[in-house]
């Protein structure tokens, strides 16, 4: 049975697209037939991270009725299949986001795992992408504004009947000023299944248009994403290499946690 997973975040800047791109490549490296669809047709970035910009047919063309979906599927790095959104303003004007579900149904006939890179936030196109998938992977940063925005996204997903697969906490530092894993789980009422550290290799990989799991497979971020892929694929973790040791902290974050618990 095909798995459809929407990767979403409550706000922009969490690194959601980077996680989606690298997770798709990692799952393909594990032997799965994976297709990534850039559902963010207004602010498309997936093709840049994968080094696939400038392709002739995109999701915009398909949603505008100008092309078939099979014409917009390309083989990307590591063997992952990719449907780029496109960056044309004219194409954006013509595209009809409500056709997305029909397009995804067609893609599901020829893939094992379908990953949707949803727009950040909860605008119409983001909600459509969340509703179209069976599962939601929520990407957040370890800070209160990202967590609270992520909570809104989770609530919408649950109301739409989309199962929450888990939470990925991205861009973790060792500064000791961030929210702890148990605090994040308590607020979101969801399990954290991935911890990805801040890693300069991620930016370097993006600059070269190559996924970090391929360009720097031994980097901390790449190892963490491979662990996440193994978890999603149903394989046990070999070790927890990306987990940052966390201490319980009092102060503003603890107070905020208590406020959420009382609601």
Measured between alpha carbons, how far is 227 from 203 in angstroms, rounded to an integer? 20
- How many residues are there in the chain? 263
1, part of any domain: no
Q: At what angle do helices 220-233 and 16-29 cross, to 10 degrees?
A: 60
Q: What is the pLDDT of residue 174?
A: 84
The CATH number of the domain where 254 resides is what? Answer: 3.40.50.300
2, part of any domain: no
Domain that residue 145 falls in: 9-262
17, part of any domain: yes
How many C-beta atoms surround the C-beta of residue 55 within 10 A?
13
pLDDT tens per residue, range 159-185: 999 999 999 999 999 887 789 999 999
Measured between alpha carbons, how far is 212 from 49 in angstroms, rounded to an integer? 9
SS3 category, 4 = strand
pLDDT tens per residue, range 75-127: 999 999 999 998 665 656 788 878 888 999 999 999 999 999 999 999 888 99
Measured between alpha carbons, how far is 137 from 92 in angstroms, rounded to an integer? 26
212, part of any domain: yes
The dihedrals phi and psi of 23, each to the nearest 5 degrees, come to -65, -40
3, part of any domain: no
pTM summary value: 0.87
Number of domains making up the chain: 1
pLDDT at residue 241 greater than cutoff 50: no
pLDDT at residue 128 greater than cutoff 80: yes
């Amino acid at each position: 049975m095909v798995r459809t997973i929407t990767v979403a975040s409550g706000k922009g800047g969490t690194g959601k697209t980077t996680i989606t791109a690298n997770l798709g490549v990692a799952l393909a490296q594990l032997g799965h037939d994976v297709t990534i669809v850039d559902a963010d047709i207004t602010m498309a970035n997936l093709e840049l991270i994968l080094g696939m910009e400038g392709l002739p047919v995109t999701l915009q063309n398909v949603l505008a009725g100008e092309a078939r979906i099979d014409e917009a599927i390309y083989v990307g790095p590591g063997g992952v299949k990719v449907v780029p959104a496109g960056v044309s303003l004219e194409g954006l004007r013509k595209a009809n986001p409500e056709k997305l579900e029909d397009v995804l149904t067609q893609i599901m006939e020829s893939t094992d795992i379908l990953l949707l890179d949803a727009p950040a936030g909860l605008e119409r196109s983001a909600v459509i992408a969340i509703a179209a998938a069976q599962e939601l992977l929520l990407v957040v940063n370890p800070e209160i504004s990202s967590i609270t925005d992520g909570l809104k996204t989770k609530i919408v997903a649950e109301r739409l009947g989309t199962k929450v697969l888990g939470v990925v906490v991205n861009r973790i530092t060792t500064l000791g000023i961030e929210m702890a894993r148990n605090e994040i789980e308590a607020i979101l009422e969801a399990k954290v299944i991935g911890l990805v550290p801040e890693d300069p290799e991620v930016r370097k990989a993006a600059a070269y248009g190559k996924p970090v799991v391929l360009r720097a497979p031994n980097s901390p971020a790449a190892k963490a994403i491979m662990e996440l892929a193994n978890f999603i694929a149903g394989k046990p973790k070999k070790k927890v290499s990306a987990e940052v040791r966390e201490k319980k902290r009092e102060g503003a974050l603890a107070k905020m946690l208590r406020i959420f618990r009382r609601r």
